[in-house]
């Protein structure tokens, strides 16, 4: 069964520092992978998606993620953190079995400090 693991439920970085949020997936078929962001009291917004066209995927707000099949990883990065990046981030993988269902990771709360 397809699954994702997000290492680190809380990550804290200084403003201007590199952001690295980790996601490892398990899938028996070539996966579609997504990163979503959730700001307080809001729904999830799509940051970026991997669809096999390119291994380095660029998303909104300066975020990008690299698909590494050998490591079964899809880590999210941003070169320079901004205060407005503070939010919860979810990695998700297509679940299979029809319905375009997703399996979500448990989320990583990103804190950005001055």
Alpha-carbon distance of 83 to 101, in angstroms, equals 32
DSSP state of 56: E
Out of 71, 101, 111, 113, the only residue in the binding site for another protein (CB under 8 A) is: 101
Is 107 a binding residue for another protein by CB under 8 A? The answer is: yes
Is 32 a binding residue for another protein by CB under 8 A? The answer is: yes
Q: Which helix (H) or strand (E) holds 30?
A: none
Is 99 a binding residue for another protein by CB under 8 A? The answer is: yes
In order of 10, 38, 80, 98, 99, the CA distances from 20 in angstroms are 12, 17, 10, 32, 31
Q: What is the pattern of x (binds another protein, CB under 8 A) and - over residues 76-95?
A: --------------x---xx
Is 59 a binding residue for another protein by CB under 8 A? The answer is: no
Out of 11, 73, 85, 105, the only residue in the binding site for another protein (CB under 8 A) is: 105
CA 79 to chain centre: 15
Out of 17, 24, 49, 66, the only residue in the binding site for another protein (CB under 8 A) is: 49
């Amino acid at each position: 069964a397809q699954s994702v693991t997000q290492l680190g439920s809380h990550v804290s970085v200084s403003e201007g520092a590199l952001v690295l949020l980790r996601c490892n997936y398990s899938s028996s078929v070539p996966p579609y992978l997504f990163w979503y962001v959730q700001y307080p009291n809001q729904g999830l917004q799509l940051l970026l998606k991997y669809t096999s066209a390119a291994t380095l995927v660029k998303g909104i707000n300066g975020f990008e993620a690299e698909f590494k099949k050998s490591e079964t990883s899809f880590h999210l990065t941003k070169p320079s953190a901004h205060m407005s990046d503070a939010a919860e981030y979810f990695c998700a993988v297509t679940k299979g079995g029809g319905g375009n269902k997703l399996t979500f990771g448990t989320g990583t709360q990103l804190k950005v400090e001055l």
